[in-house]
Amino acid sequence: MIEPWVFPALTAVAVLTGFIDAIAGGGGLIMMPALLFTGMPPLQALGTNKLQSMFGTMIAMINYGCAGLIEWRRNLPTVLVVFGAAAAGCWVVQQVETRILQLIIPLFLLGVAIYVLFSPRMTDEDAHQRVSSAGYAPVGGGIGFYDGFFGPGTGSFFTTSLVGLRGYGLTKATALTKLFNWTSNIASVLLFAWGGHIWWLLGLCMAAGAMLGGWLGSHTAMRFGARLIRPLLVVGSLAMTGRLLWGYFAG
């Protein structure tokens, strides 16, 4: 039984996490502890979080797309790979223990922060791409699998890899990240729903907050561009690193 205060409280949290996710990612590390604080079992917390995140990411993706920042048709192969890989990751996480990732992923996030901080490519200028759209698909699939399996830092991994490998400017990479993130969220929601691991009423209430946050965040990112996204990626990655390491050693 969910206490009545949980609905408005977590909807308000979803506004904040939707805003953060639309710009730099990492909102899940705020939302997941909030969900677990209510006494929700871990798998239900993961599934409900994916549901609300799917709606917030969708709004951000639509805003970026309407601004002409997403090449839909060109990235369709990667979308299909991400979907399949995220579904596989979501199925696997319902079968195995994930504690080892809590130690490995902070090291990757720390690498993301260092790359974003010191790489001269982290601007809004497009650069020479190192791999084609098809060549990026396996990378996107790997990140999609991770998102379905665990999740924190997925947006940062997509964004930095799109800048480094595809040559996108930071705002374009952030926009395309929302397409891939939304795809992996859909796959995860389908698998979690199939397993009965979503609290639908709470998740849909939170989705309203996430949509507002996603709308605000995407418009803010498009207005300020790399000078906002870059520091938030660094701060977000470092915050996620600290949060995951603390959770690993404290738990």
Distance of CA 220 to the CA centre of its chain: 17
Give residue 102's pLDDT. Answer: 57
Q: How far apart are CA 211 and CA 248, in angstroms?
A: 31
How does residue 64 score in pLDDT terms, banded at 50, 70 and 90? very high
In this structure, are residues 50 and 189 in contact, taking their beta carbons and an 8 Å threshold?
A: yes
On the question of pLDDT at 226 being above 90, the answer is no
- Supply the pTM of this predicted model: 0.84
Give residue 100's pLDDT. Answer: 60
Q: Is 192 exposed, middle or buried (0-12, 13-18, 19+ CB in 10 A)?
A: buried
List C-alpha distances in Å: 39 to 16, 96, 160, 198.
21, 21, 35, 14
Q: How far apart are CA 89 and CA 99, in angstroms?
A: 15
On the question of pLDDT at 157 being above 80, the answer is yes
pLDDT-above-70 percentage for the chain: 84
